[in-house]
Amino acid sequence: MQVPLSWLKEFVEIDQPAEWVAERLTVAGLEVAHIRYVGVPQQTIEGIRQPKSHHLVWARDKILLGAIREVKPHPNADRLVLAMVDYGAGELEQCVTGAPNLRPYLGQGELDPPLWTAFALEGAVVYDGHSEERKLMTLKGKELRGIYNKSMVCSELELGISDEHEGVILMEERAGFVAGTPLQDVLGDVVFDIELTPNLGHCYSVLGVARELAALTNKPLRVQLDANVPVLQEGDSIFGQAKIEIRNPDLNPRFTAMLLKGTQVKPSPYWVQYRLKLSGQRPINNIVDVTNYVTFEMGQPLHAFDYDKLVQRAGGGVPTIITRTPEPGETLETLDGVKRVLGENQILVCDTAGVLSLGGIIGGAETEISETTTNVLLEAASWHFINIRKTCQAQKVFTEAATRFSRNIHPSRAIIGCRRGIELMRQWGGGMVAKDALDEYPKPPAPLCIDLPISEVKRLLGVELSVQNVAEMLTRLAFDVTLMGDTLRVGVPDYRTDMSEGVVGMADLVEEIARVMGYDNIPNTMLHDQTPPQRTNVRNEFEERVRDICVSLGLTENISYRMTAPELEAMLTPQGLPSSLPQARYVQLANPIASDKTVMRHTLLVSLLHNALLNARFTPRQQVFEVGHVYLLGEGQTLPDELLRLGVLMTGARSESAWMQQSSETVDFYDMKGVIEGVLRGLRLRDVRYTLGGHSSLHPARSATVHVGEQAVGAFGELHPLVASAFKLTGAPVLVAELDLEALLALAPKRHAVKPLPITPAVLEDIALVVDESLPAAQVETVIRKAGGALLRDVRLFDVYRGANLPPNSKSLAYALTYQTDEKTLTDKDVAKVRARIVQAAERELNAKLRS
Amino acid sequence: MSELKQVEREALDALQGVATAEALAAWKSKYLGSKGVVRDLLSKIASIPAEARKAYGQEVNALKDALTSAFDAREAQLAQAALQRDLEGGALDVTLDGRPRQSGRLHPSTQTLRQIMAIWADMGFQVYKSRDVELDDMNFTQLNFPPDHPARDMQDTFYTVDPSVILRTHTSPGQIRAMHELGENGTQPIRVVLPGMCYRFEQITTRSEVQFHQVEGLVVGRNVRMSDLKGTFTQFLKRLFGENTAVRFRASYFPFTEPSMEIDVECFLCGGAGCRVCKYTGWLEVAGSGMVHPNVLRNGGYDPSVWSGFAFGMGPERITMLKHDIQDIRYFWGNDLRFLGQF
């Protein structure tokens, strides 16, 4: 909302600088997002931060209010005229100008009253009206077709007011106009761009902002716009000339109308147009401008009908305005030229012949004000705010009126707006206002009263205030306060539709008190309430621990979109294979933002593969992980299970290349297995087993399923070549893993014991066993450990050899064995016995041969 | 006995010519080894006449001592020379890069989240997590957003095909869940922080994203006041942004708090003088907050005439962007390693 400071000053005395006002409003919840300066300088106020403004400041001695006393022809040029300008210097300045809006005054001799204008003298800085882009120029004297000229009558564009450059500014005479007054003091202004939160409907006008300022600065309102706002009513009564019928009082609680006859449609006075322009509204004509002016001024939108067209539609009889919901299939062509199909509950203003306008939102084309309108029926009504909002969204139309109505304007405002509007129309267009007003108001809402014990203020704000002090602050905001001991009985002004009753109302009042006193004046204290029961969030700590382990293993964390598309996840399963993804329904979005973000994910793998592809161009070596949720919607569930998963992806060189090491080997299955082992070891998980394959997204010969105890907890390995090519990852092999952190959380031991350090020396020995190629190494180790018994402390595979000197289809596994016991220092004899047991067991159970 | 003198001269001459550790070892083996010259001379003692044996023995021992001390001296000399050579020769090009280590990194959002949580943990706030896919009722109605209320316009929502289910637009529904789960029917105080991912139906641009983290805070007690909110949050901001950070509280509106306020900090990049990051206002908006609305307390099982509370919410991505002058929010979920590698 654009609010000119000059307009605010009409309602409340403001002696502080604009920057101070903006800060005070902002801190009180009316955020001034931007300050626009029109001709006047920005001021720097100690303690207030404002962005530097780079606007044109009108020099006080060079840009002045001028009076054009005569317009003379230019002797040498038909398209130029000579404006004889009085700027308070005694002599008239002869100013050469091409302004087309001065031509009609040619040959009229001396003008009385004069034409008031914006006048710039030599040396003044203004915008160059002839330049395509906005650039400043300094006015210099020069000959214009043989006549020396050193001044200028200005357009709005040249002064930085608007883009208007069709003619120069011409103002009607107003009281107090003195030629030579600095223009800053006449048209100079500051416009606040105020962003209002949805609760501040009552501030959605100049009056609304002025009320706030009056309360914040403790000044009275200069002008009260209430139901007694004056109207000169000299015409015949409106009764018998129009009727109103409300059919749905819930959607349309009040409808008022007044009638102006014999008016003239023409442009509004310059000052009205100027005000509307500063407020962001294009002037149209005096009648339509009034509806906008009153909307901006007091927040009550109005709608003007051409009365004669209504009479015509009524077949010459008395028009009846009917508000109702649409008949099936009804349509309306609105002022914006759109033909609208009307939906259920979209309340309409109609007459007996059909639909006139979409109530509270936008008028219809047929009965709008035209150049020839002379009789105006002015509507000021009240509409249910939520219904207005729904209709706007359904019809995709957002107007100044609808924006205000959707913020809940109290029905009491309607008659005030109607009276104010019809009087301004009379003043700006002439004519006679019919006596009386039509006013249908079937269900006036009850007034609101809140009892506020003073203790509530201290309880909620933490600051001690007296009843008198609080009463004074609320009174400044126009609340009607009665003291009842330690309780304030607070009558709420009707326009404060943001206030509630009871305990909520008390909180509402406490907020008002805090706003008026200023949040800065509430002290800063530390919590001194009882400390709540302390709880450890085991799940959260586990999740963070997994992240730390992954980072310690050299992986970089990804966080990806949790939305994906089923088609993308389907790409993880090669055609003809069963899916290894969770069998669950998707949480499906009703309004997805993009075709690749239509559901919540079932797996982290798509995100990881997508990231890998994006990174491939710049960072071929990738070692990343993600810890995050998948969303599985089971049968009969409304809300999905949100389950934690760990995803890992590695591709590219095993180690970084550098000048001393050229890395050519790419990561393989065993790199990923190292990561998985690192994670599981970090979580102290025991009894871990790996079995070949088991996940259809992975290469069947170079992948594994991880088991902890009896439970499968995830899979890892090289991406299946068909999946890799589906995701366009056709370069180096891509290794991925996905682990079920929910399972790992359940399985991870809460504590683990640390082994004491050995107190006896160890005996180290290597053995190599030749076994069948297909025998898994884990099985060999199991046999060795079992046969080795208590004296065999550690077994480590250090070499796998395949070669010519071995029997076909066999391999040699070399193990480093550590023998140790705390009981005694082992002798060679002790060790030889165990070793013999191991070799025998290997021969017997694995058909292994000791390699010599 | 010139034979022994002869041996001594010969050995000492040879020792002078020894320049390497190997040659030194060979010399030692030749003269002082178990099959060396000295041992050989000693073994001849049996063939020496009995009366001369003692003198012979003494002389061979003297020879041995002389050779041993000469050896020790030479050894020390050579070691010294070797050390000298090592220290003086082959200086490295210290400007060459070090050998790369494999190091992982946490995502910047995680880093900021942890930093935020750690500060709140110090003040006695524990982590409570709540779900991403939420009931419309929890996200809005329970938080005092009436159906179709204009306040809902502040939140662009992702709806699901089940009209009762949405993606949470803020972490605030966690307030209701925390009150139900921890409040024991409105009888226990609460102090929690609720981190989590939120979702808004917006175009993805440099300044807006469809998903973002939020950290919510909730305090409920019998004696919790707006002054506590101001004091506690100011302490938090001073720890997050620096001891001298100026803080501004502005009135605002959220349906689930009353009074409501926006919290700004003085721009830490320009010190409030005005720069690109603070859009030349000198202030950075970092959090929304307020006293828990009586209806929300009631929906959480508390009697609002006895219990009160405060709540706040902030965005770790926004804070990260401010701290590191990041201009494009899309970097966060883009997972470009060139971005992630900078944290």
Contact A667, A651 (CB under 8 A): yes
Map out the domains of chain A as residue ranges.
2-55+190-217, 63-187, 233-440, 449-520, 539-747, 763-850
CA nearest A499 in B: which residue?
B258
Last residue of a domain, one of B58, B87, B116: B87
Nearest to B127 among A523, A537, A631 (CB): A537
Q: Nearest CA of chain A to the CA of B321: how many Å?
A: 16
ipTM: 0.89
Contact A160, A104 (CB under 8 A): no
Architecture of domain A449-520: 2-Layer Sandwich (3.30)
Q: Is the pLDDT of residue A129 over 90?
A: no
Same domain, B74 and B169: no
Q: Is the pLDDT of residue B14 over 80?
A: yes
- Max CA distance (Å), chain B: 128
Buried b / exposed e along A360-369 (16+ C-beta atoms within 10 A): bbbbbebbbb
Nearest to B251 among A519, A593, A622 (CB): A519
Superfamily holding A539-747? Bira Bifunctional Protein; Domain 2 (3.30.930.10)
B93 found inside a domain = no
Contact residues on chain B for A589, CB-CB shorter than 8 A: 158-161, 167
Residue pLDDT, tens place only, A12-70: 999 999 999 999 999 999 999 999 999 999 999 988 888 888 999 999 999 999 999 99
Query: What confidence category does residue A833 fall into, taking pLDDT thresholds of 50, 70 and 90?
Result: very high
Q: Is the domain covering A233-440 a CATH 3.60.150.10 domain?
A: no
CA neighbor of B131 nearest in space, from B170, B185, B182, B186: B170
CA nearest A618 in B: which residue?
B338
State the average pLDDT over residues A439-462.
Answer: 95
Q: Is the domain covering A63-187 a CATH 3.40.190.10 domain?
A: no
Radius of gyration (C-alpha) of chain A in whole angstroms:
42
CA distances from B191 to B178, B219, B311 (A): 10, 5, 10
Spatial distance between the Cα atoms of A697 and A716, rounded to a whole number of angstroms? 10
Q: Which domain holds residue B24?
A: 2-87
Q: Is the pLDDT of residue B255 over 90?
A: yes
Residue in the structure block whose two tokens are 């399923």: A705
B98 found inside a domain = no
B94 found inside a domain = no
State the average pLDDT over residues A705-711.
Answer: 96
Query: What confidence category does residue A671 fall into, taking pLDDT thresholds of 50, 70 and 90?
Result: very high
Q: Which helix (H) or strand (E) holds A382?
A: strand A376-382
Q: Nearest CA of chain A to the CA of B211: how many Å?
A: 7
Contact residues on chain A for B132, CB-CB shorter than 8 A: 562, 600, 629, 631, 642
Same domain, B166 and B241: yes
Contact A266, A343 (CB under 8 A): no
Architecture of domain A763-850: 2-Layer Sandwich (3.30)
Q: Nearest CA of chain A to the CA of B84: how many Å?
A: 27
Query: What confidence category does residue A486 fall into, taking pLDDT thresholds of 50, 70 and 90?
Result: very high
Spatial distance between the Cα atoms of A252 and A246, rounded to a whole number of angstroms? 7
Spatial distance between the Cα atoms of A476 and A212, rounded to a whole number of angstroms? 9
CA nearest B98 in A: which residue?
A658
CA distances from A547 to A551, A702, B111 (A): 6, 26, 11
Residue pLDDT, tens place only, A168-201: 999 999 999 999 999 999 999 999 999 999 899 9
CA neighbor of A349 nearest in space, from A285, A256, A442, A414: A256
B199 found inside a domain = yes
* pLDDT value for B154: 66
Interface test with B, best of A528, A563, A639, A745 (most B CBs within 10 A): A639
Nearest to A629 among B132, B191, B260 (CB): B132
Q: Is the pLDDT of residue A156 over 80?
A: yes
Task: Output the average pLDDT for chain A.
Answer: 95
Query: Quick check: A639 and B135 CB within 8 A?
Result: yes
Amino acid at A79: R
Interface test with B, best of A25, A463, A529, A555 (most B CBs within 10 A): A529
CA nearest B257 in A: which residue?
A507
Contact residues on chain A for B188, CB-CB shorter than 8 A: 532-533
Q: Nearest CA of chain A to the CA of B243: how many Å?
A: 15
State the average pLDDT over residues B32-53.
Answer: 88
* pLDDT value for B44: 86
List strand residue ranges (DSSP E) for B239-327, in order.
247-254, 257-266, 283-292, 308-314
Query: What confidence category does residue A135 fall into, taking pLDDT thresholds of 50, 70 and 90?
Result: very high
Query: What CATH number is attached to the domain comprising B199?
Result: 3.30.930.10
Q: Is the pLDDT of residue B150 over 80?
A: no
- Decide if B303 touches A, using CB distance below 8 A: no
Q: Nearest CA of chain A to the CA of B87: how many Å?
A: 23
Q: Nearest CA of chain A to the CA of B7: how many Å?
A: 47
Q: Nearest CA of chain A to the CA of B328: how many Å?
A: 16
Query: Quick check: A29 and B161 CB within 8 A?
Result: no
Query: Quick check: A550 and B104 CB within 8 A?
Result: yes
- Decide if B162 touches A, using CB distance below 8 A: yes
Q: Is the pLDDT of residue A766 over 70?
A: yes
Strands of the sheet containing A449-453, edge to edge, are A449-453, A487-491, A480-484
Give the B window 249-268 contacts with A, CB below 8 Å.
249-253, 258-261
What dihedral angle (degrees, nearest 10) is formed by the CA atoms of A182, A185, A188, A190? 150
Residue pLDDT, tens place only, A720-731: 999 999 999 988
CA neighbor of B270 nearest in space, from B237, B288, B245: B245
* pLDDT value for A462: 95
CA neighbor of B135 nearest in space, from A637, A540, A634: A637
CA neighbor of B331 nearest in space, from B140, B177, B109, B164: B109
Query: Quick check: B337 and A624 CB within 8 A?
Result: yes
Helix (H, G, I), strand (E, B) or coil at A704: strand
Report helix, strand and coil shares of chain A as percent, to nearest 5: 30, 30, 45
CB pairs under 8 A between A and B: 285
pTM for this model (two decimals): 0.89
- Decide if B15 touches A, using CB distance below 8 A: no
Same fold flag, A2-55+190-217 and A449-520: yes
* pLDDT value for B277: 78
* pLDDT value for A636: 93
Query: Quick check: A640 and B232 CB within 8 A?
Result: no
Give the B window 73-112 contacts with A, CB below 8 Å.
96-97, 99-100, 102-107, 109-110
Percent above pLDDT 70 for chain A: 100
Number of domains chain B is built from: 2
Q: Is the pLDDT of residue B151 over 80?
A: no
Q: Is the domain covering A2-55+190-217 a CATH 3.30.56.10 domain?
A: yes
Contact residues on chain B for A658, CB-CB shorter than 8 A: 97, 99-100
CA nearest A459 in B: which residue?
B225
Instruction: Please list the residues that pair with A94 across neighbouring strands.
Output: A84
Numbers of helices and strands, H then E, in chain B: 12, 9
Query: Quick check: A553 and B107 CB within 8 A?
Result: no
